[in-house]
Every structure is written in structure tokens, then in C-alpha cells.
């Protein structure tokens, strides 16, 4: 069970939105930003500690709470709306049930994780076509998804005693089943399928307690059929570097790196073939223990976006809770 605790340590959201914070960022309008809505179907930086670990066989549950305040005076256009200013708080809660098992013939483990996000948007924006500010408050389902992976564990990696490697190729698929209305300025869903092959690994040095984890992803975005907007493909990776200490504690830094590899296209991409880029980092601390014999982990993180272009990424707070049964 401890493998599972390490696996998600700081970010179960990690494996799928985690993905799926993806949905939360969807709350932004698009036009002067790349990829429709200016955000991805993945929460940048969410992979965290234990990104390459597959949990021990059994049922597991994680809950991720993610909050991002966003304020801008940059012009956006979406569905005929032109927005000149925006001040909103976005809170996403992700329900992340998972099942893992063994493949004895391959000496491997596999996992299947469901992503079910619910998005709260609260704030105001001003339209260039009207003098009054528009208030907005909503609670809707985001785009659900499924994350699948198969992984292996290697002891004494590269002949170094006490150095272990866990690695896992996987596939994340995000659907269009979230709440989405054409012409709305703020939506919980994105109305585009995203297919993300990925590769994750975790290096852990037992003598020092130091861990390095990374999840590398390539996102292929399909067309939004309601706006005829085809967002470009995206390359990005999350990383986490930290140390275990005391009884159940682990702390360090985490972050992300993002580059859009192909431009947007389609009749809805009226501002041209833009490409986004960005990176950020921040501190992470987590604690693992047991409650009634059930291994649990709580993790708290803050991420500072240090550079972004044609993106709506902003500073964010994350708290996730994981239990293994």
C-alpha cells in the first residue's frame, strides 16, 4: 500500500487531470490565446511525486481540490462575445477512483483511473459591447476522462545499490461530455476530445530519501464541432524533486514545462495559428499515514506561473487526499 501512497503523493491529479483540471481551465474565453479557451485538457504541474509508480493491486480513491483566481484586462473573444476584462475564481473538484492489478506474464502492474471533475466558476467580466459588468456564478460537470497505464519496477538501477526506477507508459483520453454551450463566455467543458500518450518515471534513492519524478505527455486535440476550432497539439511535462524525512513526510519542488507544437486551425480560429508556451514551479509538502488501517496521504501545493505566452495559466493552489483499500 505504501507504493500507492508514494505513487500519488503530491499529485494524483497527476494521472489524469488529473487530469482533469483540464476542465477547470476551460473556463476561459479564447481568441488572443492559443488552443481554444487558452488552456489544456491537463492541469499543468499536477503529476507530482510518484508519477511513474503503479499502485498495488486493489481499489483506490483520490480527491483533488484545485483553486485558481484569474484576473486580466486582456481582450478575449468567444462565440461572438468580446470580453475586455475578467475577474473570476475557478474551483475544481476531481473525483478519481482507480483500480490496479498485476500482469504476471509480464511481471508488470496496470491501472485504470476515472476522472470526474466538477467546476465552480464565480466572478465577473465586462463585454466591449456593453457598458455594464456581467456577473457569473455556475457549478457544472467538467469533461470526464480515463487514464490507463502499465508499469515496471527495477531495483539497483544502473548497478547503483539503493537506487530504484519505476516507469510506466500510458494513455489518457478526455471526452467532450462536460457542460458546454456555444456562445457562452465561461464553460465548464471544452467540447473537444483529447488523446494524450505519455511516459512517466520515478527515480528514488533509498539511502538519501531523494526522489525525482516526471511525466512526459503529447496531447492531440480533436476539433470542437460547435465552433469549428481545431486546437493544435501540445508537448508538456511535469516534474517533482523532493526528499522524504521523518515519519511519512515528503517535501520539495514541482513544476511544468509547456510548448504547443502545431498551430490552431479551422474556421473558428479567427485570430490565426497561434502557439502557446509556458513554465512554472512551486513548493509541495505531503504527509502519509494510516486511518483505521487504511493508508492515506494528504498533499498541499502552490504553483507560481513564471512565464506564459498565449495561455491563461495562472498561480494555483492544490490539495489532494488519497486512500488505498
Please say whether the beta carbons of 198 and 216 come within 8 A.
yes
Please say whether the beta carbons of 255 and 239 come within 8 A.
yes
Distance CA 171, CA 162 (A): 30
Lowest mean per-residue pLDDT among 39-53, 135-149, 165-179, 267-281? 267-281
In CATH, 2-324 is 2.40.160.40: yes
Query: Residue 199: is its pLDDT beyond 90?
Result: yes
Calculate the average pLDDT of the chain.
83
Write the CA distances from 122 to 32, 56, 70, 125, 252, integer angstroms: 22, 39, 10, 10, 32
Task: Quote the pLDDT of residue 8.
Answer: 42
Distance CA 264, CA 270 (A): 10
Question: pTM for the complete prediction?
Answer: 0.83
Task: Quote the pLDDT of residue 1.
Answer: 41
Task: Quote the pLDDT of residue 22.
Answer: 45
Task: Quote the pLDDT of residue 31.
Answer: 42
Distance CA 38, CA 32 (A): 8
- C-beta atoms surrounding 144 within 10 Å: 23
Query: Residue 315: is its pLDDT beyond 80?
Result: yes
Q: How confident is the model at residue 300 (pLDDT cuts 50, 70, 90)?
A: very high
Q: How confident is the model at residue 235 (pLDDT cuts 50, 70, 90)?
A: very high
* Residues in a beta bridge with 173: 146, 195
Q: What is the SS3 assignment for 151?
A: strand
307: exposed, middle or buried (Cβ count in 10 Å: 0-12, 13-18, 19+): exposed
Q: How confident is the model at residue 268 (pLDDT cuts 50, 70, 90)?
A: low
Query: Residue 296: is its pLDDT beyond 70?
Result: yes
Please say whether the beta carbons of 233 and 194 come within 8 A.
no
Task: Quote the pLDDT of residue 19.
Answer: 44
Query: Residue 307: is its pLDDT beyond 90?
Result: no
Cα–Cα nearest to 191, from 231, 158, 160: 231
If you write DSSP's letter for every residue of 290-304 in order, what string do you get? EETTEEEEEEEEEEE
Query: Residue 227: is its pLDDT beyond 90?
Result: no
Q: How confident is the model at residue 271 (pLDDT cuts 50, 70, 90)?
A: low
Distance CA 106, CA 288 (A): 30
Tens of pLDDT along 45-103?
788 899 999 999 999 999 989 898 877 776 665 544 567 777 888 899 999 999 999 99
Distance CA 223, CA 175 (A): 12
Amino acid at each position: 500500500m505504501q507504493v500507492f501512497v508514494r505513487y500519488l503523493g503530491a499529485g494524483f491529479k497527476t494521472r489524469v487531470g488529473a487530469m482533469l483540471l483540464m476542465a477547470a481551465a476551460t473556463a476561459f474565453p479564447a481568441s488572443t490565446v492559443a488552443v481554444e479557451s487558452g488552456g489544456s485538457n491537463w492541469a499543468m504541474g499536477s503529476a507530482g511525486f510518484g508519477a511513474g509508480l503503479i499502485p498495488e493491486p486493489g481499489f483506490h480513491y483520490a480527491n483533488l481540490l484545485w483553486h485558481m483566481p484569474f484576473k486580466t484586462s486582456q481582450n478575449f473573444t468567444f462565440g461572438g462575445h468580446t470580453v475586455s476584462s475578467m475577474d473570476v475564481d475557478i474551483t475544481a473538484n476531481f473525483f478519481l477512483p482507480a483500480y490496479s492489478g498485476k500482469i504476471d506474464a509480464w511481471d508488470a502492474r496496470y491501472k485504470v483511473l476515472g476522472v470526474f471533475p466538477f467546476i465552480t466558476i464565480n466572478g465577473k467580466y465586462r463585454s466591449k459591447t456593453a457598458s455594464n459588468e456581467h456577473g457569473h456564478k455556475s457549478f457544472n460537470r467538467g469533461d470526464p476522462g480515463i487514464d490507463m497505464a502499465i508499469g515496471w519496477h527495477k531495483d539497483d538501477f544502473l548497478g547503483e545499490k539503493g537506487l530504484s526506477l519505476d516507469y510506466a507508459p500510458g494513455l489518457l483520453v478526455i471526452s467532450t461530455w462536460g457542460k458546454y454551450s456555444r456562445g457562452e463566455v465561461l464553460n465548464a467543458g471544452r467540447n473537444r476530445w483529447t488523446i494524450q500518450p505519455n511516459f512517466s518515471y520515478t527515480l528514488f534513492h533509498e539511502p538519501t530519501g531523494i526522489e525525482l519524478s516526471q511525466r512526459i505527455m503529447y496531447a492531440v486535440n480533436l476539433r470542437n464541432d460547435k465552433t469549428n476550432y481545431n486546437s493544435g497539439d501540445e508537448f508538456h511535462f511535469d516534474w517533482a524533486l523532493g526528499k522524504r524525512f521523518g515519519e511519512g513526510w515528503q517535501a520539495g519542488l514541482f513544476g511544468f514545462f509547456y510548448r504547443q507544437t502545431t498551430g490552431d486551425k479551422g474556421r473558428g480560429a479567427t485570430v490565426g495559428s497561434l502557439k502557446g508556451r509556458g513554465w512554472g514551479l512551486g513548493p509541495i509538502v505531503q504527509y502519509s499515514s494510516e486511518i483505521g488501517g487504511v493508508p492515506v496521504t494528504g498533499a498541499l501545493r502552490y504553483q507560481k506561473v513564471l512565464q506564459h505566452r498565449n495561455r491563461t495559466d495562472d498561480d494555483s493552489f492544490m490539495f489532494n487526499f488519497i486512500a488505498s483499500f
